[in-house]
Amino acid sequence: MPWKPLFDGHIPSLGYEVADWITEHCCHGPGDIAGEPIELDREWLRFLVESYRIDPVTGRRLYDEAVLSRPKGRAKSELAGWIGVAEALGPVRFDGWNADGQPVGRPVRTPLLKCLATEESQAGNTFENIAYICGEWGKDTHPEIYGGISGARIYQSATALYLPHGGEIRACTSGSASKDGGKETWVCADETHLYVLRELKSMYGTVSRNLGKRDQPWLMQTSTAYRPGEQSVFEDTLTAWRKGELSSSVLMDHREAKGRIDLDDEDHTKAQLRQVYGEAAGWLDLDRIYRNMRDPRICKDEAEAARYYLNRPLSTKDAWIPLDVVERQVRAEVVEPGTSIALGFDGSLRDDATVLVGAVMETGFLFPVGIWAKPSGAEGAWWEVPRSDVLAAVREAFARYKVSRLYADPHEWRSDIDALAEQLGAERVISWETRRDVQMAAALDRLRTDLMTGVVWHSGDPVVVEHFGNAYVRRKGGHRLVRKEHADSSRKIDSVIGAALAYEARADAIAAGWNASPPDTTVLVFR
């Protein structure tokens, strides 16, 4: 029987039934309202329904991973705990359609759940919530469900729960997470912005790869905003999502504060808090949260306050430019053929990206003409920049637009740039050495200043935004240059260089006499 919608916005999902099971058989975990009944707010209900979305014909899950990103204090771990209890005991797998064309769920047979922990000494907030419900609260309140569970005599110190009909729920550290050969049915990775150390990232990767040997297993990832440059699991996840590289089988539910970050503006910041906390803003103490954001003992700087309470990854004082400035200066604009532009080129052969960036002569609007970057994983092992494609893109840009001049860093491309200059005009194709510190610092300063003051806009291309977010200050003498966060980093900044060259080429062309209005060549004849 095919699925039948019952109301506007109704989707095929087991989440409705799971939500009902949670509200009936679970409670709030440790804290001020421990043991009290659950009333799911609309935000959490939407997440549950979408997480358990199924194919309307086959009934199979659509998502094998769900990512929930919210600010500190939004009870992400508590929601994950409720889902964990349901995955252990509730109707979470498709078992056919009822007479009304609605999906019916059943429990998982012999479930194995893992809650990944960051330290050997703690079990994690999610597992603690599960242990409290299954042990301290559940045995008295719902003995018919929780009575046979063992291992949770003292929920604070429990590390494993054993289910009466077979199955386990475990708190796992990096040393133990991968010892079961991939038999997990549900895994929770809590606060993945903390998964920075190699062993933690390895744990996450191993468990993720192992999922797939059971009946539609899935992984839930929760996190608050990451610190840019630490290359945490959540930074990798959110970056891939913004670039459109995540699989369609990954559900991303991320909410961050919009607009400028200005803690001195209390009204503006509290409006952002209400936006990012959603329905929870109705019962949270926003005045106290704002005080915490301003207290240097709690948040050492604006970036930390934005990460924890506005769920906004914000660059630190070492960043070349604040990421919120880059995001603020995005504008949707189409650069039509025949538009007068300048170009900037920063090339590589293997490891770095190669970029060709345009700057509209009249406005300075920046947009990528082409970006060639090394693919991730095994695909990038023997990859090289497709030199012929890059050169063809340069020639195509000269044919498509009115190019005043191209500034090109000649490193590894000298002969090609000489050939382009001969073909397209030496007055328009100009070799521009980026290793000249004085000139490079001036070009970077022009671009940064005009972005900071709102003079120039850009297209918001996700790769370009990512590169700007990866750029840190490199001081050499009195010069302010750019660098990656460390020499061996795989995170690229080439679009920053390409944009600076394009913007500098535009400025120099204007200084040399370029004019948007061509001179009047009308010949007047007097009779």
Q: pLDDT tens for residues 216-231?
A: 999 999 999 998 778 8
DSSP state of 194: G
**φ and ψ of 289, to 5 deg:** -60, -40
Residue 521 maps to a domain: no
Higher pLDDT: 405 or 123? It is: 405
300 shares its domain with 335: no
DSSP state of 278: G
134 shares its domain with 161: yes
- Do the beta carbons of residue 407 and residue 505 sit within 8 Å? yes
60 shares its domain with 168: yes
Higher pLDDT: 295 or 212? It is: 295
Q: What pLDDT, on the 0 to 100 scale, is given for residue 154? A: 77
Mean predicted confidence (pLDDT) in 302-322: 86
E strands within 11-167? 65-69, 93-97, 103-106, 112-116, 160-162
Q: Write out pLDDT tens, residues 313-325.
A: 876 667 898 888 8
pLDDT beyond 60 at 179: no
Nearest to residue 356, comparing CAs of 502, 490, 237?
Answer: 502
Structure tokens of 377? Answer: 């994983």
Residue 259 maps to a domain: no
Q: Write out pLDDT tens, residues 3-28.
A: 889 999 999 999 999 999 999 999 99
CATH (domain of 372)? 3.30.420.240
For 77, 83, 279, the CA distances from 74, given in Å and listed in that order, are: 9, 16, 10
How wide is the angle at C-alpha 150 spanned by C-alphas 145 and 152, nearest 5°?
100
Higher pLDDT: 243 or 339? It is: 339
Residue 371 maps to a domain: yes
Domain boundary among 254, 287, 303: 254
Structure tokens of 302? Answer: 């604006």
What is the pairing mode between strands 429-431 and 366-372? unpaired
411 shares its domain with 466: yes
98 shares its domain with 151: yes
223 shares its domain with 138: yes
Count of the separate structural domains present in the chain: 3
Residue 9 maps to a domain: no
Residue 23 maps to a domain: yes
DSSP for 452-467, please give it: HTT---B---HHHHHH
Nearest to residue 225, comparing CAs of 182, 259, 193, 271?
Answer: 193
Neighbours of 211 (CB within 10 A): 20
Higher pLDDT: 175 or 391? It is: 391
Q: What pLDDT, on the 0 to 100 scale, is given for residue 180? A: 53
**How far is residue 409's CA from residue 431's CA, in Å, rounded to a whole number?**
6
Q: Rounded to an integer, what is the distance from CA 518 to the centroid of its chain?
A: 45
Mean predicted confidence (pLDDT) in 428-444: 95
273 shares its domain with 374: no
205 shares its domain with 339: no
Structure tokens of 55? Answer: 């194919």
DSSP state of 429: E
DSSP for 338-378, please give it: T-EEEEEEE--SSSS-EEEEEEETTT--EEEEEEE-PPSGG
**φ and ψ of 376, to 5 deg:** -80, 160
Partnered with residue 508 across adjacent β-strands are: none
How wide is the angle at C-alpha 77 spanned by C-alphas 73 and 78, nearest 5°?
90
Residue 288 maps to a domain: yes
Cβ within 8 Å of residue 373, ≥6 positions away? 353, 354, 463, 492
Q: Write out pLDDT tens, residues 233-243.
A: 999 999 889 88
Mean pLDDT, the chain, integer: 90
pTM over 0.75: no
Mean predicted confidence (pLDDT) in 144-158: 84
Report, in this order, helix, strand and coil percent for the chain, each rounded to 5: 35, 15, 45
Banded model confidence at residue 527, pLDDT cuts 50, 70, 90: very low
DSSP state of 523: P
Mean predicted confidence (pLDDT) in 115-140: 81
287 shares its domain with 248: no
Instruction: Give me Rg for the CA atoms of the chain.
Output: 28
237 shares its domain with 275: no
Banded model confidence at residue 381, pLDDT cuts 50, 70, 90: low
Look-up of token digits 């150390």:
197
- Do the beta carbons of residue 312 and residue 257 sit within 8 Å? yes
**How far is residue 10's CA from residue 500's CA, in Å, rounded to a whole number?**
49
Residue 25, domain extent: 15-254
Look-up of token digits 């980093």:
489
Residue 519 maps to a domain: no
Residue 396 maps to a domain: yes
In single-letter form, the type of residue at position 448 comes to: R
339 shares its domain with 456: yes
Q: Rounded to an integer, what is the distance from CA 104 to the centroid of its chain?
A: 34
**How far is residue 93's CA from residue 17's CA, in Å, rounded to a whole number?**
11
Banded model confidence at residue 146, pLDDT cuts 50, 70, 90: very high
Cβ burial of 78 (10 Å; 0-12, 13-18, 19+) is buried
pLDDT beyond 70 at 43: yes
pLDDT beyond 50 at 120: no
- Give the torsion sign (CA, 293, 298, 299, 300): positive
- Do the beta carbons of residue 311 and residue 256 sit within 8 Å? yes
CATH (domain of 211)? 3.40.50.300
430 shares its domain with 507: yes
Structure tokens of 442? Answer: 């001036």
